[in-house]
Amino acid sequence: MPVLRRCVAPEDTTLLAARCQRPGQPMAGTFLLLLTNRHLIVSREGRLLRRIHLHLAAPLRELADVVWVPDARMHAIELAFTAPDGVRERFWIPIRGLSRVSHVDALFSHAFRGSRTINRYGPGRRTWPLSAPAPAV
């Protein structure tokens, strides 16, 4: 996809490419999340003409308050972060298979280590809504 190719350097290693949705915004369309060792790129497919639009392209080090919650019962992970422009973003990533949920959880742990990651909380242990920034620790 040319939109994604422009945002990824040849030396970047792709860690994850997955379809995702915006929780609470089912009419927003389908999103594609591409996680590399240095960048997070999210594109959106338009509903009417099915054109691909770039939603977000940011280096991992510029993302703040990164939180992900694996949900083994729903076979999904919810990812939330604050983009460099200050907008709080949330994505629901459905995953097939319980072992893949733990694999994607490990990928996020690997990708976001060293960035301004708050923490990862297991199912049922969220202490604040993912739509809000984390409390000061």
Here the CATH number for the domain that contains residue 30 is 2.30.29.30
- CA dihedral of 106, 23, 53, 46, whole degrees rounded to 10: 130
- What would the pLDDT profile of 81-106 be if each residue is shown by its tens digit? 999 999 999 999 999 888 888 899 98
Domain membership flag for residue 59: yes
Instruction: Show the DSSP H helices in 25-133 as ranges.
Output: 98-111
Helix (H) or strand (E) holding 3: helix 2-5
Domain membership flag for residue 131: no
Walk along the chain (137 residues) and give the pLDDT tens digit of each residue: 677 778 888 888 999 999 999 887 766 678 999 999 999 999 988 766 677 889 999 999 999 989 999 988 888 999 999 999 999 999 999 998 888 888 999 899 888 886 555 555 544 444 444 555 544 44
**Domain span at 112:** 2-120
Domain membership flag for residue 113: yes
Phi, psi at residue 48, to the nearest 5°?
A: -80, -60
Q: How many domains does the chain have?
A: 1
Domain membership flag for residue 129: no
d(CA 39, CA 106) in angstroms, rounded, equals 17
